[in-house]
Structure 1
Amino acid sequence: MANQLSNTQTYGVPIYAAEWIPEETVRSKIDKDEEKPEDGGESSSSRSCIVLSGGGGEGNSGIPNVILICRVDLETNSLSEQPIRDLRSLLQLGKLLLGTDLPYRMTVHPRGGGPICALPNSCKLFDWENIMNPSEDNQAGEESDEVITELRDVGQQLALAFNQEGSVLASGGEDGTLRIFEWPSMKTLLNESNAHASVKSLTFSESGKFLVSLGGPLCRVWDVDASAAIASLPKEKDEMFAYCRFSVDNAGNEVLYIAANTERGGSIITCDPTSWKRKRSTLIKNNPISAFNVSADGKLLALGTLEGDVLIIDSTKMKTFQVAKKAHLGFVTALTFSPDSRCLVSVSLDSRAKLTVIEQTHGKGGPRWWLLVLLLILTYIVSYFFTKAKGIIPMKIPQVIPQHDAAE
């Protein structure tokens, strides 16, 4: 039973994508389907869920292609030993959802609308109710209604992203095509076939006004309302852009982070979204970055490396303050922060998911220095008066000036 309280679990398939499930979804559509513990020991307020996707792809490897829902217990800082739902089980009911299609990329609707998975030639939307309570009325071989018509037969999509409100969906293809849709109407806002040689990463600004896409040596900025590119951020020297993420700084201003790989290793580029100019570039690790993400509060950056390490970085100081060495046996494929920024889940081709709890020392360096200085001052004052009272420090003798008689 010890494995049930482990912060690392092996789920039997290579994992390519991981997303935290919104809390309202967990409460309303997942928790109600689970049996409550007889001892009543585990409070639902301490439990969250993640959704993972991966598998063996096509061929006869014997490794299935799956979508898993796994429990995260924030009181014991552990992952469930077994997934609470495993989408491959639906195949036994005759519902052809995955088959030989690998769910290579994934995004989750921020308002509980379900996950979208990018398969080799299309994208499918999965409803939480169907995942938790699969019906048996769909016959084998029948086309599933989860296929998104506008993303059918479009080739492999390497990036999927919703804006913060969940009203706009963007997808980037291996063929370099960028598509932007209204959600859920799927009205096309943009269909640019030459956005990049291949679209690697997408991110919406906090306001939803801008979308940033990148592929290889080029990062492009798109005005969503105008459906047009408004800026380009070229690479410098030997940089190769890998990931992009919008966030906010301590002052509440938007900031764009770009994770890039160079001959010296990985680096984080910070860009100003008003001028679209880079502000600084910080070398973080002497190994290429294989995964990147930013916490919801903007205070933390997370990097996964080809060596399987996971690094937590202070976004203000750009200093690494927490490292999970060899968190995985292979390179890290995806990282996802909890909505409250308390912990991080990393996944890899080694079939493992690892929960890393963020150390609480983060962001408290300044106040702690002041407390230390204050403590030293108080210690000095107490020591001074103690030694003075014991006579170790002689009392100051006032100088007496003799008074002379008037006759003198």
Structure 2
Amino acid sequence: MTDTSSDLQKYGVPFYGAGWAPYNHIKSKLASQEKIEEDKKEEKDPTPSNDDEITTPLNYVVLAGGGGEGRSGIPNAIVVSHVNFTSNSLSDQPVVKHETGSDLPYRMTVHPHGDGIICAFQQSCRLFEWKESEGNEVHKLGVKVSEKVLIQLEDVGQQLALTFNSEGSVLAVGGEDGSLRVFKWPSMKIVLNEAQAHSSVKNLDFSCDGKFLVSLGSGLCRIWDVTSSKVVASLAKGNDEVFAFCRFSQINDKNPHLYIAAVTDYGGSILTYNTTTWKRIRTSRVVREAISAFNVSSDGKFLAVGTVGGDLFIINSANMRVQMMVKKAHLGLVTALTFSPDSRALVSASLDSSARLTLIKDKTSS
């Protein structure tokens, strides 16, 4: 089924990463900080409360990318866009565009409980925090560089994969050099430091219970027990397969799955694994082109695939059939996909500087 219920916006930044902002958690943190500041004033300058202005639930998506180090004139930036589900649209202008100078935010991850955004630059990783923007705008969410320096991730080279567990208590980081580091958050106490987990770490994901971490190289997938820091399984590719992305099914049921998106001689396939035996239980060829982006909805019902040709596919995980398709969703290859927390929408991003909001049709209510 081809979809027409989607909205495309261009923001002038080639995107490499995307994630939803956990607005309720962010709002709570900002309100707590504001109260602390007000208490410090000791009622010297009483002003009317602005609480009513932030009670309306808002939806934001954060995107990161840029033109790199050259003098192309294309900025490197973190972009925040407002999502309007009533009109099914992204804001035509960014809520904020926080430029990062000559440093390209090549990968990013959003803390699930509002602690901020971590971006991977060429040599180091940097934390950005949420803030309320100045003035009386409707869209009040902003971004600032954190005073907290991630010393353990300074001068470590380009990191290609960053992810938090669902609780936001553990951070995993994988490098172009094959290193895998896992930290407690926010203490940054290291719990796993593997110098050669892969020749290069392409993708990482935690299981929904946080017990396992999957790390992916081109030809090998490793499953780590987070508590013991030991490898419990190694999954090898087939003859014509190149592993590209990995995601655990985020359903807390008796049979959670691990999905690996692979590029083959015949297009893109999704490989499904049992998370008890770690045996492959299904191989599903889903697209004719190479897969360039992949994600799983939080309810586990849908898989999203983006291709090098700019097409977008939403796949029903129950039968591995394409439920929705957006041909030429982007002019360039799709680089990032992120589902809304309620699984009703998908934001895709591309090197063509565009972001697209797509509502998922025929979603059965639970």
TM class by shorter chain equals 0.7 to 0.9
Q: In the alignment, which of 53, 56, 65 is matched to residue 44 of structure 1?
A: 56
**1:211 aligned partner:** 213
Identity %: 57
Instruction: Render the CA deviation track for 1:149-186: whole Å, top value 9, x for unaligned.
Output: 00000000000010111110000000000000111111
Q: Is the 8 Å Cα contact of residues 123 and 152 (structure 1) preserved in structure 2?
A: yes
Q: What letter is aligned with 2:10? A: T
Tell me the SS of whatever aligns to 1:198. Answer: coil
Q: Is the 8 Å Cα contact of residues 129 and 146 (structure 2) preserved in structure 1?
A: no
Q: How does 1:48-87 map to 2 (within 5 A)?
A: 48-87=59-98
**1:24 aligned partner:** 24
Distance 2:107 2:251 in 1: 28
Deviation of 1:83 (Å): 0.8
**2:305 aligned partner:** 303
**2:232 aligned partner:** 230
Instruction: Render the CA deviation track for 1:177-224: whole Å, top value 9, x for unaligned.
Output: 000011111111111011000000000011111100001000001111
Q: In the alignment, which of 175, 180, 186 is matched to residue 173 of structure 1?
A: 175
Q: Relative to structure 1, is the Cα distance of residues 66 and 246 closer, same or farther in structure 2, using a 3 angstrom cutoff? A: same
Distance 2:324 2:30 in 1: 32
Q: What letter is aligned with 1:74? A: F
Deviation of 1:228 (Å): 1.4
**1:333 aligned partner:** 335
**1:92 aligned partner:** none
**1:318 aligned partner:** 320
Aligned length in residues: 333
Deviation of 1:65 (Å): 0.6
**1:262 aligned partner:** 264
Deviation of 1:229 (Å): 1.2
**2:106 aligned partner:** 104
Tell me the SS of whatever aligns to 1:359. Answer: coil
Deviation of 1:264 (Å): 0.4
Flag structure 2 segments of 5+ consecutive residues without an equivalent: 35-51, 136-144
* Displacement over 6 Å in runs of 4+: none
Q: Is the 8 Å Cα contact of residues 30 and 132 (structure 1) preserved in structure 2?
A: no
Root mean square deviation, CA, Å: 2.4
Q: What letter is aligned with 1:72? A: V
Deviation of 1:328 (Å): 0.2
Distance 2:276 2:252 in 1: 17
Q: TM-score, normalised by structure 2?
A: 0.86
Distance 1:291 1:102 in 2: 19
Distance 2:147 2:56 in 1: 32
Distance 1:184 1:132 in 2: 25
Flag structure 1 segments of 5+ consecutive residues without an equivalent: 34-39, 89-97, 135-142, 365-408
Tell me the SS of whatever aligns to 2:68. Answer: coil
Distance 1:256 1:20 in 2: 22
Distance 1:144 1:113 in 2: 10
Distance 1:278 1:6 in 2: 34
Q: What letter is aligned with 1:78? A: S
Distance 1:146 1:238 in 2: 45
Q: What letter is aligned with 1:14? A: P
Instruction: Render the CA deviation track for 1:228-272: whole Å, top value 9, x for unaligned.
Output: 112100001111000000114595532111000000010000101
Distance 2:284 2:300 in 1: 17
Deviation of 1:51 (Å): 0.5
Instruction: Render the CA deviation track for 1:289-317: whole Å, top value 9, x for unaligned.
Output: 00000000000000000110000000011
Q: What letter is aligned with 2:265? A: E
Between Structure 1 and Structure 2, the one with more helix by share is 1
Instruction: Render the CA deviation track for 1:307-366: whole Å, top value 9, x for unaligned.
Output: 100000000110001000000001000000000011100000100000011002x459xx
**2:164 aligned partner:** 162
Tell me the SS of whatever aligns to 1:150. Answer: helix
Between Structure 1 and Structure 2, the one with more strand by share is 2
Distance 2:180 2:118 in 1: 17
